[in-house]
Amino acid sequence: MKIVSACFVGIHCRYDQRHNALEEIRRLVREGKAIPVCPEQEGGLPTPRNPAEIVGGDGEDVLDGKARVIDNRGNDVTEQFLAGARKALAVAQAVGAKQAILKERSPSCGSCMIYDGTFSGGKKPGVGVTAALLRRHGIEVVSEETMKTESSGDTGEEGSSKG
Ligand code: SF4
């Protein structure tokens, strides 16, 4: 069993109320092989919401209390991101998930790259808050760009997402 970013399934849970639907991942859910989770909604944030970025580090640093998650209006949403990460972990543990496929570049879900905290579109190597927490609990985290596919179909989607 896997957990997957809910926006991959076509749920309009992104900050801008859009989604990042990918047929490969929708199929996993239809076949009962994956459960969709949106950590930012689970953490209590509304949709639509202000885009947020990690300032002063990445998700690992947020877990360690060394960085914060701030939205583009200057609101500190760190606690909501942490709460959402804990709920995503609880879901993963409840279903015995060994792997998560999460949206790259999101401050929650990114597994290799995230936005750089300047709200300028720049990116930096790093992980999102949920991705970091899942990894700390032994769950493999991959993205739509690094997941192994069962077919040769298109698995990636260009464009940005701040979750
Ligand atoms: Fe939710 Fe954003 Fe993660 Fe998609 S990338 S599941 S919208 S937190």
- The full set of domain ranges for the chain reads 2-143
pLDDT of residue 148: 83
d(CA 70, CA 78): 7
Residue 126 has pLDDT above 50, yes or no: yes
Mean pLDDT along residues 149-155: 46
Mean pLDDT along residues 46-70: 98
CB of residue 106 inside a 6 A radius of ligand 1: yes
pLDDT of residue 150: 52
Task: Tell me the average pLDDT of the chain.
Answer: 93
Distance of CA 152 from the midpoint of ligand 1 (Å)? 25
CB of residue 114 inside a 6 A radius of ligand 1: no
Which of 9-23, 95-109, 120-134, 144-158 comes out lowest in average pLDDT? 144-158
CB of residue 162 inside a 6 A radius of ligand 1: no
CB of residue 14 inside a 6 A radius of ligand 1: yes
CB of residue 108 inside a 6 A radius of ligand 1: yes
Residue 43 has pLDDT above 70, yes or no: yes
Instruction: Name the residue at shortest CA distance from atom 5 of ligand 1.
Output: 163
Which of 26-30, 118-122, 157-161 comes out lowest in average pLDDT? 157-161
CB of residue 87 inside a 6 A radius of ligand 1: no
Nearest atom (ligand 1) to Cα of 106? 5
Residue 25 has pLDDT above 60, yes or no: yes
pLDDT of residue 62: 98
Which of 43, 44, 81, 75 is CA-nearest to residue 62? Answer: 81
- State how beta strands 113-115 and 123-125 pair: antiparallel
**Is the CB of residue 7 less than 8 Å from the CB of residue 13?**
yes
> What are the beta bridge partners of residue 115?
123
Mean pLDDT along residues 63-83: 98
Mean pLDDT along residues 71-89: 98
Which of 156, 112, 115 is CA-nearest to residue 131? Answer: 112
